[in-house]
């Protein structure tokens, strides 16, 4: 691990970013060029003390997960992300398989979507990053780890909890869509990937999954419209728009409602109240 190179790289990248680049307000009394250390730490979901020690050449070797969080926070390009891993003593992530990396261009779009629920999701339905409106509507996904991060896995492994967000009549359709999406990801990532792990786990515990998996339906798309049930506001009918990365490994999903409708009023209420209880 090259502590000098890591420190200098973090400082330079932090100084080159403006608050508006990451969806933050500059404020009237800002003197620090670029972002403050505490702002980077907040964006990367780590303590300010830990990040400060990295810049001061005192920190431990960061894990690959920490580096993925820093890459998102600092809006690193793929080449910069690879460099960060190498100076920390890790191999660069394989660009042909799924990672936690989110392209900075997609993050810039997400930063500007503060009035609509929006999130970036992987081919395995793993929420990589979400805005406050999405957390208020769908719940906070940041605490999920391992195979539990996959919405496909949770849909079949924990149906009593996961399916409460959707009306009962919509469950069979969503099950088909999720399995077809997993089949598409499995074809790309292979048997030994996280997709393969999900297939093995669900085949062992869900008869519904086994039946749908044997159909061999392959589809990678998002429904244009769906009904979501918020536990306190009730059902909300939303339109879904998806913006895919060039390799279609990730998608930015935005949920909207037609102006003047009951659903639009409910989304506005969620935006105002945030994640507080109604």
CATH code of the domain in which 257 resides:
3.30.450.180
Burial of 188 (0-12, 13-18, 19+ CB in 10 A): middle
Determine contact, residues 27/48, Cβ cutoff 8 Å.
Answer: no
Q: Which domain holds residue 187?
A: 104-273
User: Is residue 92 domain-resident?
Assistant: no
For 127-154, how does the pLDDT look when each residue is reduced to its tens digit (9 = 90+)? 999 998 999 999 999 888 889 999 999 9
User: Is residue 97 domain-resident?
Assistant: no
Residue 245 banded pLDDT, cuts 50, 70, 90: confident
Q: Are residues 50 and 120 in the same domain?
A: no
The rounded distance, in Å, linking the Cα atoms of 199 and 210 is 9
Please tell me the total count of domains within the chain: 2
For 170-227, how does the pLDDT look when each residue is reduced to its tens digit (9 = 90+)? 999 999 999 999 999 898 888 888 999 999 999 999 999 999 999 998 887 777 889 9
Q: Are residues 148 and 254 in the same domain?
A: yes
**79, 133, 140, 190 from 169: Cα distances, Å:** 46, 26, 25, 32
User: Is residue 98 domain-resident?
Assistant: no
The rounded distance, in Å, linking the Cα atoms of 267 and 113 is 13
* pTM (global) more than 0.95: no
Determine contact, residues 225/240, Cβ cutoff 8 Å.
Answer: yes
Q: Are residues 110 and 58 in the same domain?
A: no
User: Is residue 187 domain-resident?
Assistant: yes
The rounded distance, in Å, linking the Cα atoms of 14 and 35 is 5
- Residue-wise DSSP of 25-40: ---TT--SSS--HHHH
Determine contact, residues 124/195, Cβ cutoff 8 Å.
Answer: yes
What CATH number is given to the structural domain containing 72? 1.10.260.40
Note the Cα 91 to chain centre separation in Å.
23
Q: What is the SS3 assignment for 184? A: helix
Q: Are residues 38 and 114 in the same domain?
A: no
For 148-175, how does the pLDDT look when each residue is reduced to its tens digit (9 = 90+)? 999 999 999 999 999 999 999 999 999 9
Determine contact, residues 35/6, Cβ cutoff 8 Å.
Answer: no
The rounded distance, in Å, linking the Cα atoms of 13 and 231 is 41
**9, 94, 277 from 91: Cα distances, Å:** 17, 9, 44
Q: Are residues 155 and 198 in the same domain?
A: yes
Question: For 184, what's the count of Cα atoms within 13 Å in the CB-facing half-sphere?
Answer: 18
Q: Are residues 168 and 250 in the same domain?
A: yes
The rounded distance, in Å, linking the Cα atoms of 21 and 11 is 16
Q: Are residues 45 and 178 in the same domain?
A: no
Determine contact, residues 80/86, Cβ cutoff 8 Å.
Answer: no
The residue out of 30, 57, 87 marking a domain boundary is 87
Q: Are residues 263 and 159 in the same domain?
A: yes
Residue 27 banded pLDDT, cuts 50, 70, 90: low
Question: ∠225-189-248 over CA atoms, to 5°?
Answer: 40
The residue out of 87, 120, 153 marking a domain boundary is 87
Q: Are residues 31 and 154 in the same domain?
A: no
Q: What share of the chain is helix, strand, coil (3-state, %, to 5)?
A: 50, 15, 35
User: Is residue 27 domain-resident?
Assistant: yes
């Amino acid at each position: 691990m090259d502590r000098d190179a890591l420190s200098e790289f973090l400082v330079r990248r932090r100084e080159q970013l403006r608050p508006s680049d990451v969806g933050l307000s500059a404020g009237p009394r800002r003197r620090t060029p670029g972002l403050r250390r505490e702002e980077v730490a907040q964006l990367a979901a780590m303590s300010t003390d830990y990040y400060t020690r990295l810049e001061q050449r005192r920190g431990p070797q960061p894990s690959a997960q920490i580096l993925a969080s820093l890459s998102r926070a600092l809006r690193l390009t793929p080449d910069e992300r690879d460099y960060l891993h190498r100076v920390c003593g890790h191999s660069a992530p394989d660009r042909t398989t799924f990672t936690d990396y989110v392209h900075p261009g997609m993050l810039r779009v997400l930063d500007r979507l503060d009035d609509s629920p929006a999130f970036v999701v992987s081919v395995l339905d793993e929420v990589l990053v979400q805005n406050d409106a999405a957390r208020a509507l769908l719940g906070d996904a940041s605490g999920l780890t391992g195979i539990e991060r996959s919405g496909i896995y949770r849909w079949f492994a924990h149906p009593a909890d996961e399916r409460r967000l959707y009306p009962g009549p919509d469950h069979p359709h969503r099950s088909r869509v999720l399995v077809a999406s997993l089949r598409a990801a499995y074809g790309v990532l292979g048997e030994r990937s996280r997709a393969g792990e999900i297939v093995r786990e669900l085949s062992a515990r869900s008869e519904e999954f086994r039946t749908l998996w044997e159909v061999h339906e392959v589809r990678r798309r998002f429904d244009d419209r769906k009904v979501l049930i918020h536990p306190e506001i009730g059902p909300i009918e939303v339109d879904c728009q998806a913006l895919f990365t060039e390799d279609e490994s990730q998608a930015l999903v935005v949920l909207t409602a037609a102006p003047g409708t009951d659903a639009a009023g409910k989304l506005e209420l969620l935006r105002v109240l945030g994640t507080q209880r109604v």
